[in-house]
Amino acid sequence: MADLLRLLLQVAEKAANVARVCRQEAPLFQLLVQEKTGDDKNKKFVQDFKTLADVVIQEMIRHDVGAQFPEMVGFIHGEESNKFENGLGESVTVTVCSTEGETATLLASVLDNNHTAASLLARAIHRDPVTTDAQADALMVPLNPSDLGIWIDPIDATSQYIEGREEVLEEGRLFPSGLHCALVLIGVYLRSSGEPVMGVINQPFNYKDPVSGSWSGRHFWGVSCGGVNTSSESRPKDVPDRGPSVVLSSSEKQVVKEALISFYGPDKLMYASGAGYKILCVIQGLADIYVLSEGSTFKWDSCAPHALLRALGGGVADLAESLQDGQTELTYHQPREECKGADRWANHGGLVAYRDQAQLHSVIRTLKGKL
């Protein structure tokens, strides 16, 4: 099943190309950043386009994975629905067609007949990038496609993607917001137990060439199953005397912030955008723990980075359950039947992402009785 990992790396890179094309090609970029001051139809259309980038990426991933692994068709889920209503009130089902021309025609019907924009998108969807990763290629993965399901977040931290602020990243430092927080997340789980077993993260806007002005991305992957724990990342080395740090959403509850400050110290709390980016910060050792007390993330946000953390010896625990009955890892196979729509797949109890069990236990002790 290293074939699946290779395919996910390739399709995540293609997703990153689509995300970059939407910002780099003028006819698409104009749609992305159009002023929201127009009439209602215009406002709706701009909203449509933002959603369209997400829908197109998700359908492309679903199409490519389903074509190579037919056993997985029906088990490839994501944040978006492919039913799409355009600014004219027409309903269109967004799919990837067998030729670039057909895909362009279909996309034009969603894009109010903007054929230039539709052709640019279709071209990115139908060009397969070459991705090479020697370590991933050499891996033996004991998994069977008919046992697996997939969660896709085509673009996480959409608000940062739209806002588009550029940061020059520095090794070893967390940057709280900007284009680099936007991530493509593809997570694979076992249908039987819901355990996350493989994850691919693509960061489309990792480095901007100062001369050409074009962006290149970076990918991260991890596999954790049947005794195999391998990742593109190595466990970050502990820095003596540095002390653990925590990353939070800026909208985290005051009571949680205060409890964590009293334990870790005020200068050890950091804030960052994007649920995926915050877990990536824990993976990379830019933070030791990510705590979220609200049910504001979903299975598609956490599945991929959760698999990477497991491969490094860590995990993502359900915060509410861990505060009640001891540690419980998030799983990915069962909806909450009592909920409707996206809420069925929310991580209702909040979460704690960690590399070290000891850090998880400290957080649970610190927050016990406070929420």
- As annotated, the binding site includes 79, 153, 155-156, 301
Of these, 48, 59, 80, 153, which contacts ligand 2IP (CB under 6 A)? 153
Calpha distance 136→58 (Å, rounded): 23
> Does residue 155 have an active-site annotation?
yes
Number of Cβ within 10 Å of residue 93's Cβ equals 12
Token digits of residue 225: 């199953």
- Shorter beta-carbon distance to Ca ion: residue 46 or 155: 155
Calpha distance 165→230 (Å, rounded): 33
Count of residues touching ligand 2IP (by CB under 6 A) = 12
Calpha distance 239→311 (Å, rounded): 21
- Shorter beta-carbon distance to ligand 2IP: residue 157 or 330: 157
249 binds ligand 2IP, rule: CB under 6 A = yes
Strands (E) in 209-321, as ranges, are: 215-225, 228-231, 246-248, 269-271, 289-292, 315-318
- Shorter beta-carbon distance to ligand 2IP: residue 37 or 251: 251
Given 13, 80, 147, 156, the catalytic residue: 156
Residue type (1 letter), 157: A
> Does residue 128 have an active-site annotation?
no
β-strand pairing of 269-271 with 315-318: unpaired
- Shorter beta-carbon distance to ligand 2IP: residue 225 or 363: 363
Given 51, 116, 158, 328, the catalytic residue: 158
> Does residue 153 have an active-site annotation?
yes
What x/- string results for residues 285 through 324 when contact with ligand 2IP is judged by CB under 6 A? -----------xx---x-----------------------
CA torsion sign for 205, 209, 214, 218 is negative
Q: Which stretch binds ligand 2IP (CB under 6 A): 156-164, 195-203, 313-321, 357-365?
A: 156-164
52 binds ligand 2IP, rule: CB under 6 A = no
Residue 254 pairs in a beta bridge with none
Nearest residue to Ca ion on Cβ basis: 156
Number of Cβ within 10 Å of residue 23's Cβ equals 19
- Shorter beta-carbon distance to Ca ion: residue 111 or 181: 181
The DSSP code sequence of 67-78 is HH-GGGTT-EEE
Nearest to 219 by CA among 185, 244, 252: 185
Q: Which stretch binds ligand 2IP (CB under 6 A): 106-114, 119-127, 151-159, 253-261?
A: 151-159
> Does residue 156 have an active-site annotation?
yes
Calpha distance 4→7 (Å, rounded): 5
Calpha distance 271→175 (Å, rounded): 9
158 binds ligand 2IP, rule: CB under 6 A = yes
> Does residue 112 have an active-site annotation?
no
Asked if 149 and 191 touch (Cβ cutoff 8 Å), the reply is yes
3-state secondary structure of 239: coil
Of these, 178, 217, 244, 274, which contacts ligand 2IP (CB under 6 A)? 274
Q: Which residues contact 96 (CB under 8 A, 6 or more apart)?
A: 59, 60, 63, 64, 103, 125
**Least distance (Å) from ligand 2IP to the CB of residue 253?**
12
> Residues in the site for Ca ion, rule: CB under 5 A?
79, 153, 155-156, 301
Calpha distance 58→186 (Å, rounded): 10
What does 274 interact with, of ligand 2IP, Ca ion, none (CB < 5 to 8 A by kind)? ligand 2IP
347 binds ligand 2IP, rule: CB under 6 A = no
The residues assigned a catalytic role are 54, 79, 153, 155-156, 158, 301
Binding region for ligand 2IP (CB under 6 A)? 153, 156-158, 249, 251, 273-275, 296-297, 301
